[in-house]
Amino acid sequence: MNALDRYIIKEVLKGTLIALIALYALFNLFTLKDELKSLGVGDYDLKHIFMYLGLMIPHYLYELMPSAALLGSLFVLGGMANHRELMAMRVSGVSIFGIIRSVMIAGMILVAFSFGIGEFVGPDAEKKAKVLRSVAKTQRPVTRLANGLWLRDGTQFINVKDIYTAGDVANISIYELSDARRLEKVVYAQSGRFLDKGLWQLKGVQTSYVSADNVSAKNVAEQAWYSVVDPDVVDVVVMDPENLSLNDLSKYIDFLQENKQDAAKYELAFWARLINPFITLVMLLVSAPFVVGVGRGVALGPRMMLGILIGMTFNIVDNAVGQMGVVYGLNPLFVAVLPSGLVLFGALYAISRLR
């Protein structure tokens, strides 16, 4: 790696960081405006709002990375073109594809950063943010621990280890105490689904009755369970499928398939999340035809506007294709790859025609 490579990589990374900060600040203002509407609900005060916004930072960084890479590279490479730096590189013997290669190296660094944030930091931080906000608003005894979600309903203490949707949970343990605070019944259910008005349907139920003399057990395939715990409470730790980690998505897909339920929505989210970090590379490739090899008389503004338009159009089409894929039962991997694949093909074609 020569000095020119290091220079281009450094500038692209710096431009992406500036664009990322600017986009985050913009999105954060809108989020702050929405959260201020709930100010004063329960114990939800400014302290909780800013803690919530702080915990949501990894989520926004992950979501905004492709757009930031597009804007940052357009700005940086456009500035190099306007200052004749790209022309000087070309005259010194650096090819167009050599410049693009350096940009792609920077892109791989951004991909690694995005993947790390999206998989190991963002999901847990977002769960904590939602629990924090819900506890402050509702003042309900909801706690998210390493071994699951704990809830209290009168004399019942409920532990739910696997929570995926508001009405769909698994590995539920219910500990019921007597008035004297002695354990008198333990119920374990493999899975549960919310039906209506406090009614849950538990499956694979094992009930143990505890007394001073002995312990007896009973197993049933299904059992109704009435509780004040509703999906709104459970939903505090449930994120959209697109925001779950690959590990969580994989577990839930297995859970759905074992119970012979439709997992297409989550399979699409799994493949989309796997591909999402590499969209940053696609966006960097999209920026190249608008800057590298374009005549120096072309202003930076139109280049950036066109790039922004392409980026926004991509997001809209990507979401639309994903929804259509779920509705029409298309292959999740195909649906996840199609939008970015088409954009990648177009970018590579445009780059191949650069002179």
- Tell whether 266 is covered by a domain: no
Residue 182 burial by CB count (10 A; 0-12/13-18/19+): exposed, middle or buried?
exposed
If pLDDT is split at 50, 70 and 90, which confidence band does 214 have?
confident
Kind of pairing between the strands at 183-196 and 199-210: antiparallel
Q: Is the predicted pLDDT of residue 110 greater than 90, yes or no? A: yes
For residue 208, give both structure tokens: 């143990």
The closest alpha carbon to 127, from 238, 234, 230, 233, belongs to: 238
The H or E element spanning position 225 is strand 215-226
pLDDT of residue 222: 93
Q: Is the predicted pLDDT of residue 227 greater than 60, yes or no? A: yes
CA quadruple 144, 147, 149, 155: dihedral sign = negative
- Tell whether 165 is covered by a domain: yes
Burial 70-91 (b: 16+ CB within 10 A, else e): bbbbbbbbbebbbeebbeebbe
Measure the CA–CA gap between 131 and 238, rounded to whole angstroms.
Answer: 9
The closest alpha carbon to 66, from 102, 16, 28, belongs to: 16
Mean pLDDT of 86-106: 86
Which amino acid is located at 16 in the chain?
T
CA 251 to chain centre: 16
If pLDDT is split at 50, 70 and 90, which confidence band does 202 have?
very high
CA quadruple 295, 301, 302, 306: dihedral sign = positive
Mean pLDDT of 122-137: 82
pLDDT of residue 224: 92
What are 170's strand-pairing partners?
162, 191
Name the one residue in this structure whose structure tokens are 């998210």: 144
pLDDT of residue 243: 76
pLDDT digits (tens, 9 = 90+) for 155-193: 888 888 877 665 788 889 999 998 888 899 999 999 898
Q: How many domains does the chain have?
A: 1
Q: Is the predicted pLDDT of residue 221 greater than 70, yes or no? A: yes
Which amino acid is located at 164 in the chain?
Y
If pLDDT is split at 50, 70 and 90, which confidence band does 304 have?
low
pLDDT of residue 11: 94
CB 277 within 8 A of CB 68: no
pLDDT digits (tens, 9 = 90+) for 133-164: 877 876 655 555 567 777 777 788 888 887 76
- Tell whether 303 is covered by a domain: no
- Tell whether 50 is covered by a domain: no
pLDDT of residue 237: 55
pLDDT digits (tens, 9 = 90+) for 59-86: 999 989 998 999 888 888 888 877 888 8
Cβ neighbors of 137 (< 8 A, separation 6 or more) are 38, 41, 42, 43, 44
Select the more confidently predicted residue: 290 or 23: 23
Cβ neighbors of 309 (< 8 A, separation 6 or more) are none
Domain extent for 155: 143-238
pLDDT of residue 173: 92
- Tell whether 276 is covered by a domain: no
Select the more confidently predicted residue: 47 or 241: 47
Indicate the average pLDDT of the chain: 84
3-state secondary structure of 194: strand
pLDDT of residue 239: 65
pLDDT of residue 113: 94
What is the model's pTM?
0.76
What are 172's strand-pairing partners?
160, 189
3-state secondary structure of 189: strand
- Tell whether 8 is covered by a domain: no
Q: Is the predicted pLDDT of residue 260 greater than 80, yes or no? A: no
CB 37 within 8 A of CB 137: no
Select the more confidently predicted residue: 306 or 198: 198
Q: Is the predicted pLDDT of residue 18 greater than 90, yes or no? A: yes
Cβ neighbors of 285 (< 8 A, separation 6 or more) are 100, 104, 344, 347, 348, 351
- Tell whether 222 is covered by a domain: yes
Lowest model confidence (mean pLDDT) among 82-96, 234-248, 324-338: 234-248
- Tell whether 49 is covered by a domain: no
